[in-house]
Amino acid sequence: MNQHFASVTEIMHPIGSRSAGPDDVVRLIELKRRFGATAALDGVSLSVRQGEILGIIGRSGAGKSTLIRCLNGLERPDSGQVFIEGRDISRLGERELQPLRRRIGMIFQHFNLLSAKTVEVNVALPLKIEGRPRAERLARAAELLELVGLSEKAKAYPASLSGGQKQRVGIARALAARPALLLSDEATSALDPETTRSILALLRDINRQLGLTILLITHEMEVIRSIADRVAVIDAGRIVEQGPVWSVFADPKSAITQSLLGGIRPQLPAEIASRLTQNAGVEAILRIDVAGEAARSPLLSDLASAVPGWFRLVHGGIDHVQQQPVGTLFVAVAGSNEDHLAEVIAFLKARNARVEVLGHVANSV
């Protein structure tokens, strides 16, 4: 199995539950932005700690692009506050924003490299804009190209690079001015899966080596799963759910989160799902979500010992997210005896499993 997720509701972080602290690099307070009748942002509040990777995920049109533009000062909110390293940038003039923007690095989906300039010149561009001496610029570019594994490409031009190499150059450029915050705007969306994994691994390594705070904007749950510490789900301009990645993935509360997770959480095989009915049948099909200690325990063996009768596993498995075991199991239970079914469900819930009766089937599956 590849990605299977589960639920432990008592460790979830409710929306807005984490109070701001002195280590917050980013703090947004009731951010609102409208375009005509459309509320692109409708009261967004969240914080990002120093050294943390926060993933913000949502569908197209959810408000992600507007949010990131407010973070780097390219968009002015109608109301609310945007604090970067403790300073509210939401009402600063362009001249005051200039030095603060140097504290924010940006990597883009389509790389945005200067095709007529060499790789090292592209990397050094932010330092040239700052007015740094040429020798200093090139020394910093060499240091960063080594960090991203492209030292041998310093004199090359972007046209000779692969997509993954171009993104590595983009990452090096974003780090040139030693930012406190790195914004990643769909940085892997244009890359193939293997290259995406290598870029995400690089970002995680940079986060660990430099203690760099990273905010990821994405529509891909696998990106969040791979490297984020926390996730915030945005829908129609609102943060509808947030918390540690493994707990949100394990027990998604909102319909949008459940939908976004549909591609990577295990689903009942279509052949079985097509046979489900709400009428009593030979077997009841249960979905059992487990996490933490419940996922570590021999749950099904204990069930067999504690509850007379029969049942069997038809699909599912256990995986790990952020070093936490999580799993989803689909189990067929004798469905003709309601008392037996109730006893099975009660036992599982007592073990901190979330249980859902999906329906019944007339014959064994």
Q: What is the DSSP letter of 12?
A: -
Query: What pLDDT is attached to residue 8?
Result: 32
Which residue spans of the chain are classified as CATH 3.30.70.260? 270-361
Query: What pLDDT is attached to residue 322?
Result: 83
Strands 181-185 and 213-218: parallel
pLDDT tens-digit map of 91-135: 888 888 888 888 999 998 889 999 999 999 999 999 999 999 999
Query: What pLDDT is attached to residue 21?
Result: 57
Which residues in the chain belong to E strands, given as ranges?
24-35, 38-49, 53-57, 79-84, 87-88, 104-108, 181-185, 213-218, 230-235, 238-244, 283-291, 311-321, 324-334, 354-361
Q: What is the DSSP letter of 277?
A: B
Q: List the Cα angle 237/217/101 in 5-degree steps.
A: 95
Query: What pLDDT is attached to residue 98?
Result: 85
Which residue spans of the chain are classified as CATH 3.40.50.300? 9-103+179-263
Distance from C-alpha of 69 to C-alpha of 52, rounded to nearest angstrom = 20
CATH assignment of 270-361?
Answer: 3.30.70.260
Query: What pLDDT is attached to residue 106?
Result: 93
CA atoms within 13 A on the CB side of 175: 26
Full pLDDT tens readout for the chain, 365 residues: 333 333 333 323 333 334 445 689 999 999 999 999 999 999 999 999 999 999 999 999 999 999 999 998 889 999 999 999 999 998 888 888 888 888 999 998 889 999 999 999 999 999 999 999 999 999 999 999 999 999 999 999 999 999 999 999 999 999 999 999 999 999 998 899 999 999 999 999 999 999 999 999 999 898 999 999 999 999 999 999 999 998 888 888 899 998 998 878 888 999 999 989 887 778 899 999 988 888 889 998 899 899 888 888 999 988 888 888 888 999 999 877 788 889 999 999 999 999 999 999 887 76
Q: Which CATH class is domain 9-103+179-263?
A: alpha beta
Question: DSSP labels for 303-345?
Answer: HHHHS-S-EEEEEEEEEEETTEEEEEEEEEEE-S-HHHHHHHH
Q: Is 83 exposed, middle or buried (0-12, 13-18, 19+ CB in 10 A)?
A: middle
Distance from C-alpha of 90 to C-alpha of 82, rounded to nearest angstrom = 5
Distance from C-alpha of 274 to C-alpha of 260, rounded to nearest angstrom = 22
